[in-house]
Amino acid sequence: MKYIIPTVALLLLLGCSSEQQSTQETQEPSKGLVETLQTKASEATQQVGNSVKEGVEAAKQTTQDAVESVSKTAEEAQQQIVETTQKMSNDLQQATHDVKQDIAQATQEMANDIQETTQDIQEAANNTKAEFNAAATFKRKCASCHGATAEKSALGKSQIIKGWNADKIISALQGYKDGSYGGAMKGLMASQVSSLHTDEIKALADFISKQ
Ligand code: HEC
């Protein structure tokens, strides 16, 4: 194609120049040759044009196919991602639910254990409190005058309280506390029992009655 047009032009020129010099007989074959060449050239141009068109068409088709296949793959991948994400999200939700339940159960069990332990401690504290207090209080506050087992007459003035029953001891101690009981040294005993509560007096009386 590149060479066809210059060649045709050259031949035309040659044809024209030979026309000036040539006779009528030599002019005729040149003209025919030019026409043939022109036809061939236009045919070749046409062919090349067709080939180019076909090439462009094929390229277009290939591109379109490629675009379609890429977009289809992308769509599939997207679908897969959506499905996988959904599944993961479901799994995660389930796992979270399970863990939550486990924690709740464990917490409940721990709370129960703590409550039981607290009750045990409370009970143990209650059990030790009464006995311990009475014995320790008697030893600390009373034994110096009344003797370790309440067997003495305090300061040589009081009655021996060992052998008294609890009620008798309680009414004597309450009497000292409110001033309604006692002999010459009742003021001394009042100061001994003024800080004791009713249940403490009761506990002390119980303890003394068992000596
Ligand atoms: C400092 C010595 C002393 C101490 C300590 C003491 N007492 Fe007395 N207690 C006496 C004397 C003295 C009397 C007699 C008081 C009176 O005149 O009524 C007495 C009387 C009593 C009586 C009545 C006995 C009676 O003769 O009618 C009881 C019961 C008693 N004391 C219990 C206690 C107890 C319980 C404690 C400890 C919380 C205690 N005393 C601490 C000195 C003491």
pLDDT tens digits, one per residue of 22-49: 445 555 668 888 898 999 999 999 999 9
Mutation pick for ligand 1 pocket among 152, 158, 185, 186 (CB with most ligand atoms within 8 Å): 158
Residue 28 domain-assigned (yes or no): yes
CATH number at 183 reads 1.10.760
- Ligand 1 contacts (CB < 6 A) are 141-142, 144-146, 154-155, 157-159, 161, 169, 172-173, 182-186, 188-189, 192-193, 204
- The verdict on 128 and 62 lying in the same domain is no
Residue 11 domain-assigned (yes or no): yes
Nearest alpha-carbon partner for 39 in 27, 51, 28, 31 = 31
- The verdict on 128 and 203 lying in the same domain is yes
User: Residue range 56-82: average pLDDT?
Assistant: 91
Asked which of 50, 70, 90 is the last residue of a domain, the reply is 70
Its pTM stands at 0.51
Residue 173 domain-assigned (yes or no): yes
**pLDDT tens-digit profile of 101-158?**
999 999 999 999 999 999 988 887 776 654 547 999 999 999 999 999 999 999 999 9
Residue 177 domain-assigned (yes or no): yes
Residue 95 domain-assigned (yes or no): no
Say what the pLDDT of residue 31 is.
Answer: 85
CA of 146 to the centre of ligand 1 (A): 7
User: Residue range 174-189: average pLDDT?
Assistant: 97
What range does the domain containing 130 cover? 124-209
Which atom from ligand 1 is nearest to the alpha carbon of 184?
A: 17
